[in-house]
Amino acid sequence: MQGKNVCQLSISGTIVFTMLLVAGLAMAGPPKEERLISGVSQPVGLVRDTWANLYYADMDTGQIFCLPHDGEPTLYATIEGAPTALAIDTVQTLYIGTETGTIFAVLQNGSMVEAYHCHGSVAELNLDRDGGLVVFLRNGTILRVNREQLILHQ
């Protein structure tokens, strides 16, 4: 009989502990949000690279910023015109779409080139599985630009 009582005590203790743990987690609530930056006048695009750095653009100034996962934002590039979309590939090339249809590429060495030009304003950018760009234009057209069609050198 003693073995049975010890077993019942152990199970009861486990159940009570689990209920207290769940109640404590419920009272703690969801994790609080963390403000990374503020004050960007016309933010557009938000992409993450393989090192967890974030990139975003300010449409008013044409400035592209890099926000390291543990630091302050730094100016990464400035383009003429208004950026409208961002994408980044696996080799850290950052693509910047614009209102005029120009797509710039900031290469890993920091140089910037005009990689492609579309006939229409760029609404969104993404990458296909082969490293090419998928471009969504504001007129409703979706284009696939093979990597070989992109100008990725100076």
- Residue-wise pLDDT tens digits, 10-61: 565 556 555 544 555 555 556 676 655 566 667 888 999 999 999 999 999 9
Question: pLDDT tens digit string along 125-152?
Answer: 999 999 999 999 999 999 999 999 998 8
pTM for the whole structure: 0.76
Kindly state the average pLDDT of the residues 120-124. 96
- The whole-number pLDDT of residue 154 equals 61
Q: How far is CA 107 from the centre of its chain?
A: 18
CA distance 20 to 25: 9
109-112: Cβ within 8 A, 24+ apart:
111/154, 112/77, 112/79
Question: pLDDT tens digit string along 87-121?
Answer: 999 999 999 999 999 999 999 888 999 999 999 99
Residue among 112, 103, 44 at smallest CA distance from 78: 112
| Architecture field, domain 43-149 | 7 Propeller (2.130)
All structural domains of the chain with their residue ranges = 1-31, 43-149
pLDDT at 122 over 70: yes
- The whole-number pLDDT of residue 7 equals 47
